[in-house]
């Protein structure tokens, strides 16, 4: 395999961020969902609050994207990659926080990434991340892909009002659950200290089931693999959720009653598969949102076009309650 190297040096909090190395490496890739069609209420989570001090055996990364300025065109997602794998798809004025083990990692974020998917096949920027550090990385809108590292004070000024990006399931297998030193966490007046903290894992129903199907035997091989990947990710991140709620979402095709029923049936099926993979049944509930929380609205055209257009609405969300025990 032929490698292409690009060197760049980035200042971070008075010190040099590690050398960024672009490496060409082709792998099989499963494209992330098209975030350009998503609506704000479904793709964004909590407003940014200052992060605490990460544990000394971890590295914390806050990857964010600034709001678009006038004349920058229609907002499209910037695909964020970690170690050759899709981590998130950031829309303007959004951020994602994740942790990794110290050492060598590749990072990058690309606007209008399809179909080259440069973060996996062309340019990968490598850095040696120091234990106990938090890095603030900004998406560059020029398509370069290299993360722009900024000092915390500057980054957090730009992060004011930014929202967490929550619509896509990370495929990065090198992340770990962030361990933040409680003594270092400063209370934020806008967020109650006892506020419930959730982490959402979104599964696309079209990958799990054929259109209109919901039963255990209806799950496709790809769907079973996807659920297995989700459970593996939760275990890898040491997710010890107090409660897990599986929420089924349907589209706008058909009656509201049918959508509510289909959403519940799909949620119950996914719940069953999670239990089979070792998650205690007492910790998992199933619910249905029916068609009340759409990602896209007002699809028109032929029946097949409408089915395809409404695909983002057909999903199952596995929501983990990460709040500390009372």
Q: Are residue 72 and residue 112 in the same domain, yes or no?
A: yes
What's the CA gap between 324 and 80, in Å, rounded?
A: 29
Q: Are residue 152 and residue 17 in the same domain, yes or no?
A: yes
What tens digit of pLDDT does each residue of 161-201 get?
899 988 677 888 899 988 886 434 443 333 333 334 567 78
Q: Are residue 126 and residue 249 in the same domain, yes or no?
A: no
- What pLDDT sits at residue 97? 94
State the Cα torsion 271-274-275-280 to the nearest 10°. Answer: -100
Residue 168 maps to a domain: yes
Name the domain boundary from 184, 211, 226: 184
Residue 326 maps to a domain: no
Q: Are residue 167 and residue 106 in the same domain, yes or no?
A: yes
Name the domain boundary from 158, 184, 210: 184
Q: Are residue 219 and residue 255 in the same domain, yes or no?
A: yes
CATH code of 261's domain: 3.30.1330.60
Q: Are residue 175 and residue 236 in the same domain, yes or no?
A: no
Give the chain's domain count.
Answer: 2
Q: Are residue 231 and residue 297 in the same domain, yes or no?
A: yes
CA atoms within 13 A on the CB side of 237: 22
Residue 46 maps to a domain: yes
What's the mean pLDDT in 302-320? 88
- What pLDDT sits at residue 18? 37
End-to-end CA distance of the chain: 54
Convert the chain into a string of H (helix), E (strand) and C (coil): CCCCCCEEEEEECCEEEEEEEECCCCCCCCCCCCHHHCCHHHHEEEECCCCCCECCCCEEEEEEECCCCCCCCCCCCEEEEECCEEEEEECCCEEEEEEECCEEEEEEEEECCCCCCHHHHCCCEEEEECCCCEEEEECCCCCCCCCEEECHHHHHHHCCCCEEECCCCCCCCCEECCCECHHHCCCCCCCCCCCCCEEEEEEEHHHHCCCCCCCHHHCCHHHHHHHHHHHHHHHHCCCCCCEEEEEEECCCCCCHHHHHHHHHHHHHHHHHHHHHCCCCHHHEEEEEEECCCCCCCCCCCCHHHHHHHCHHHCEEEEEEECCCCC
What's the CA gap between 275 and 43, in Å, rounded?
A: 27
pTM of whole model > 0.75?
no
Task: Please report which confidence band the pLDDT of residue 42 belongs to, taking 50, 70 and 90 as the band edges.
Answer: low
- What pLDDT sits at residue 74? 66
Q: Are residue 263 and residue 286 in the same domain, yes or no?
A: yes
Report whether the peptide linkage leading into residue 159 is cis, meaning its omega lies within 30 degrees of zero.
Answer: no
What's the CA gap between 149 and 181, in Å, rounded?
A: 23
Q: Are residue 150 and residue 278 in the same domain, yes or no?
A: no
Residue 191 maps to a domain: no
What's the CA gap between 199 and 119, in Å, rounded?
A: 25
Residue 189 maps to a domain: no
Q: Minimal CA–CA distance to 122: which of 146, 140, 103?
A: 146
Residue 235 maps to a domain: yes
Q: What is the mean pLDDT of the chain?
A: 76
Residue span of the structural domain in which 157 resides: 7-184
Least confident of 23-32, 144-153, 249-258: 23-32
What's the CA gap between 47 and 212, in Å, rounded?
A: 35
What's the mean pLDDT in 35-50? 65
What tens digit of pLDDT does each residue of 191-244 get?
333 334 567 788 887 778 888 888 888 888 888 888 888 888 887 765 556 788
Residue 2 maps to a domain: no
Residue 248 maps to a domain: yes
Name the domain boundary from 184, 214, 233: 184
In percent, the amount of the chain with pLDDT more than 90 equals 19
Residue 81's Cβ-count burial label (10 Å; 0-12, 13-18, 19+) is buried
Q: Are residue 254 and residue 179 in the same domain, yes or no?
A: no
Q: Are residue 15 and residue 131 in the same domain, yes or no?
A: yes
Q: Are residue 168 and residue 202 in the same domain, yes or no?
A: no
Task: Please report which confidence band the pLDDT of residue 1 belongs to, taking 50, 70 and 90 as the band edges.
Answer: very low
């Amino acid at each position: 395999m032929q490698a292409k190297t690009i060197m760049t040096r980035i200042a971070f909090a008075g010190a040099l961020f590690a050398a960024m190395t672009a490496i060409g490496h082709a792998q099989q890739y499963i494209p992330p969902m098209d975030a350009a069609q998503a609506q704000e209420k479904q793709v964004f989570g909590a407003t940014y609050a200052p992060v605490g001090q990460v544990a000394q055996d971890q590295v914390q990364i806050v990857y964010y994207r600034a709001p678009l300025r006038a004349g920058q065109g229609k907002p499209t997602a910037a695909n964020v990659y970690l170690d050759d794998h899709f981590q998130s798809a950031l829309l303007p004025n959004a951020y994602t926080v994740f942790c990794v083990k110290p050492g060598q990692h590749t990072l990058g974020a690309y606007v209008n990434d399809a179909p080259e998917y440069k973060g996996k096949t062309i340019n990968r920027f490598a850095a040696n991340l120091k234990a106990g550090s938090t890095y603030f990385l900004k998406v560059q809108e020029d398509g370069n892909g290299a993360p722009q590292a900024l000092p915390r004070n500057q980054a957090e000024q730009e992060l004011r009002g930014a929202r967490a990006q929550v619509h896509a399931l990370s495929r990065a297998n090198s992340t770990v659950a962030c361990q933040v030193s409680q003594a270092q966490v400063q209370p934020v007046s806008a967020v109650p200290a006892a506020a419930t903290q959730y982490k959402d894992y979104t599964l696309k129903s079209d990958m799990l089931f054929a259109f209109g199907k919901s039963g255990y035997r209806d799950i496709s091989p790809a769907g079973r693999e996807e659920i297995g990947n989700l459970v593996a990710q939760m275990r890898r991140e040491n997710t010890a959720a107090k409660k897990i709620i599986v929420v089924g979402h349907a589209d706008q095709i058909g009656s509201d009653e049918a959508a509510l029923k289909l959403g519940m049936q799909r949620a119950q099926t996914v719940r069953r598969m999670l239990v089979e993979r070792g998650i205690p049944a007492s910790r998992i509930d199933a619910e249905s949102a029916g068609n009340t929380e759409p990602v896209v609205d007002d699809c028109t055209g032929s029946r097949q076009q409408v089915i395809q257009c409404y695909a983002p609405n057909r999903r199952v969300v596995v929501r983990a309650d990460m709040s500390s025990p009372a």
